[in-house]
Amino acid sequence: MKGARRLTILTGAGVSAASGVPTFRGRDGLWRRYRPEDLATPDAFARDPRLVWEWYAWRRELIATCRPNAAHDVIAAWSRNPGCRVLTQNVDDLHLQAGTYELVRMHGSVWELSCWERCAPGTTPWRDTRVPMTNLPPRCPHCGCIARPAVVWFGEALRAQDVDAAVRATACDVFLTVGTSALVYPAAGLVHDARQQGAFTAEINLEDTPASAAVELALHGSAEQILPAIARLL
């Protein structure tokens, strides 16, 4: 990393775990009776938008109490270098709170909304940080139709500009995947693409993932401990 001019970092849920961001399923309350696949889909929203919004409002209230941890801080500091690119699968925006530059949020943000009916101005997400949310489901300020969370649901494609940015980021000297399950595509394939282009690839995770055998270095441990240790050596 000392000699790398181009560094790409891909982050997943493991980076935000130490901040207290709840897991996708949640451990308590109403949502134990539901699978995420039954809520985070366009079909689920079409069937019962209020139910889906109640789930997201609950998640937003929990995430609102969380703050960036040491892993976010190190990544934010590295992102200030011109050759660094940060891609995240997380929707909590803790990377933004930490001050990360040029962040590509591949799966969107729970703090942004878009129009469910896709009215022309409503296709561009708008910021909404109200906690708690009232009058669920919220409405599109442009056309008055129901608004949806501006996140990527199961069965939906990523935004083309985010995919393009991620693909460009695989042309790097070092590709570091941190706290990802390496199960969700297309993000899971990026480390393989980077290695095929000659990048040194490394993984930081608490346990083995499908990417562990493909990278040149796999470090087992928490992101908030390993990343500061690496930063001290640079």
Q: How far apart are CA 72 and CA 182, in angstroms?
A: 19
In 3-state terms, the chain is what percent helix, strand and coil (to 5)? Answer: 35, 20, 45
Q: How far apart are CA 216 and CA 6, in angstroms?
A: 17
Residue 98 burial by CB count (10 A; 0-12/13-18/19+): exposed, middle or buried?
buried
β pairing state of 126-127 and 108-115: antiparallel
Give catalytic residues, as residue numbers. 107
What tokens were used for 51? 């139910």
Answer positive or negative: Cα dihedral of 176, 152, 55, 138: positive
